[in-house]
Amino acid sequence: GAVVSQHPSRVICKSGTSVKIECRSLDFQATTMFWYRQFPKQSLMLMATSNEGSKATYEQGVEKDKFLINHASLTLSTLTVTSAHPEDSSFYICSVELPGETQYFGPGTRLLVL
Amino acid sequence: GENVEQHPSTLSVQEGDSAVIKCTYSDSASNYFPWYKQELGKRPQLIIDIRSNVGEKKDQRIAVTLNKTAKHFSLHITETQPEDSAVYFCAASGGGGADGLTFGKGTHLIIQP
């Protein structure tokens, strides 16, 4: 399978600040990565599909200007939560899909906005 | 878009008994159905998956069945053990290389010793 890392694993920030989360595919060059969000005791919800070298595709209801995605290389996608508010507090998880296989998830980033 | 329903939300079984979790999906174009196990605070881990050209797949104590006509698929865990306790999610996607997963709401499986 693919080895996926995320950084940071945990972040606490003040309301109104921006937070950047990195997702790295360590052993596979991924043209596509996915970003999910998981609120406590809830399921994973797909936020957007990150495409290397082009714009991300956002799911309905996800604000593209608030959740900025950059996929500048085949091994790195970043998600920036701009002007974060307490309701953005969540578990953010990225994934990489190997062709013909399944998606492999990163360890997740727990964001707490005060 | 795709919609995945999962039942039950909580399932408590005696150790050694079997557990069954069921999911239905809405998009007939979906062709890939993975099951993930998630422990508290950790990433989802794939436990088994099935594609639409197969009706059943088994891996030791875990099996998945798929009924394309009825658009439902099920996870079966036999001889349950305490370490099986976790939240289980079913998911569906088009499987076309750039399709995100649509997840069910999850089932909290509790194995009673």
B62-99: per-residue pLDDT in tens? 999 999 999 999 999 999 999 999 999 999 998 555 68
pLDDT of residue A6: 97
The residue type of A84 is A
Any chain B CB within 8 A of the CB of A58? Answer: no
pLDDT of residue B1: 82
b vs e for A29-53, b when ≥16 Cβ sit within 10 Å of the residue's Cβ?
Answer: ebbbbbbbbbeeeebbbbbbbbbbe
**In this structure, what are the phi and psi dihedrals at residue B82, rounded to the nearest 5 degrees?**
-55, -35
Give me the DSSP letters along A1-31.
Answer: ---EEEE-SEEEE-TT--EEEEEEESSS--S
Cα–Cα separations (whole angstroms), residue B53 to A48, B29, B66: 28, 12, 9
**In this structure, what are the phi and psi dihedrals at residue A98, rounded to the nearest 5 degrees?**
-85, 140
The residue-averaged pLDDT of B92-108 equals 84
Tell which wins on pLDDT, A102 or A58: A58
Contact residues on chain B for A46, CB-CB shorter than 8 A? 100-102
CB-based contact B46 A60, cutoff 8 Å: no
Question: How many A-B residue pairs are in contact by the CB < 8 A criterion?
Answer: 50
